[in-house]
Amino acid sequence: MAYEFVYTSSPAGVRPGSSGFCVVACTQGLPAALSSQMEKLCAYKPYFPEYAEQASENPVSHAHCTLVNGGKTYHILSRICHNGRDYTGRSNKLASLVALERAEIQEHPDGPASLFLRPGLFREADWEIRPEVLSEPLKLASAPAPVGVATAWQTVTGDAGWAGVLAESFLADPKGVAYLVFDPLRPVPTAELVHEALSLLPVERRWQVTFNTYFTALTAGVKCHWRFCPPDSDALREARRRPEAVVIDLTAPLPEAQGGELVDFARSGERSEVAKQSVTMATVPGKEPPKPKLKPLPPRRPMAGVARRGRQSAGNATDEIREQPWAGKDKATSRNRAKWITLAIAAGVAIALVATLTAWCWLRGG
């Protein structure tokens, strides 16, 4: 069964006595423990404050993760957006979540990102906030048209093959993390980018990928493979500590993508014979689909190549993220300073001893 869950600031929620940020709508029968877990996924940090001229351009977070509750694994899809001001005049958000069991995801082999492209499934900023327990089960719309050439990637990067680079990075390291840098002042179709990359993967792998199209922090106990971050995000600082992480900078010109069969597939829209067998055999019980051949990924561009734009200077010349060149000088200066302090203390002690000895001799002589 698919459960719906809506969280925002309201004078009243579905729970008696609740107000402020609370659950304002949910499907009847939603387990209480699962509801509490879903509530923790509703964090949202607006990039532009409510009073800013660009407040309406705040990024929308489209995310997919998994939760385990009562021995069941649920796939959680969330759409969280800035929602103006609440009834008290404070900045508000609207979090619309859907929890799917295994039976539902098997009916949607096109992958989790495709559900964000179906109109009417998630509540958006124009939804009228009213407390409501939803008695009708959530109905999922039909699947979008199959993906051929990765046109969104072609438009954003100039090379559709970068969708294949992202997809191959997951196949090469299913526990790895990829960071995609985007500029909130120059929005890109993040949900479409994820959908096109997922469509390159074998069917049985698509729902294994977790992602967030506006990633600010990792919720405890939750995985996130593909993380879209603004250039000045704290999350990108973590990427600097992960030499194995893949970083794709969508704010700067990218070279031609290098990779294997999925890179070629993203450009041509045609699968190789091995990839076709992988998709077909994924539905045959007990058979392991052949793995597509993967060329080594291109060397990860250093974080010095990731453009960092401040909120006021986005679009102007960018400052690069670099290691501080003066760090070594600071260490040498600190060592010299410590040596001189030690010598000064020793000299002071010697002077004090001489003065004490002189005074003692003078007193004895007197």
Most confident of 23-37, 136-150, 231-245, 298-312: 23-37
pLDDT recorded at residue 279? 46
Q: How far apart are CA 265 and CA 254, in angstroms?
A: 19
* 249, containing H or E segment: strand 246-249
Q: How far apart are CA 113 and CA 185, in angstroms?
A: 23
Cβ pair 7, 86 in contact under 8 A: no
Find, among 21, 27, 26, 25, the residue nearest to 8 by Cα: 21
The pLDDT tens digits of the residues spanning 328-360 come to 434 444 455 556 666 667 777 777 776 666 665
pLDDT recorded at residue 139? 80
Q: How far apart are CA 275 and CA 300, in angstroms?
A: 25
pLDDT recorded at residue 3? 95
Cβ pair 81, 58 in contact under 8 A: yes
pLDDT recorded at residue 137? 79
pTM for this predicted structure: 0.75
∠350-354-355 over CA atoms, to 5°?
115
The pLDDT tens digits of the residues spanning 62-107 come to 999 999 998 999 999 999 999 999 999 999 999 999 999 998 998 8
Continuous H helices in 173-299: 190-199, 203-206, 234-240, 261-268, 273-281
Q: Give the mean pLDDT of the chain.
A: 82
Q: How far apart are CA 48 and CA 135, in angstroms?
A: 37
pLDDT recorded at residue 300? 43
pLDDT recorded at residue 329? 39
Q: How far apart are CA 30 and CA 38, in angstroms?
A: 11
Mean pLDDT over 21-31 rounds to 95
Cβ within 8 Å of residue 253, ≥6 positions away? 158
Structure-token pair, residue 25: 């709508």
End-to-end CA distance of the chain: give it in Å, rounded.
104
List beta partners, residue 62: 79
For the cut 80, the answer to whether the pLDDT of residue 32 exceeds it is yes
For the cut 90, the answer to whether the pLDDT of residue 241 exceeds it is no
The dihedral formed by the CA atoms of 181, 187, 189 and 193, expressed in degrees to the nearest 10: -10
Find, among 205, 234, 184, 242, the residue nearest to 47 by Cα: 184
For the cut 80, the answer to whether the pLDDT of residue 46 exceeds it is yes
Cβ pair 71, 106 in contact under 8 A: no
Dmax (CA) for the chain in angstroms is 110
Listed range (69-83, 85-99, 155-169, 303-317) with the worst mean pLDDT:
303-317
pLDDT recorded at residue 337? 56
pLDDT recorded at residue 76? 98
Cβ pair 3, 93 in contact under 8 A: no
CA 3 to chain centre: 24
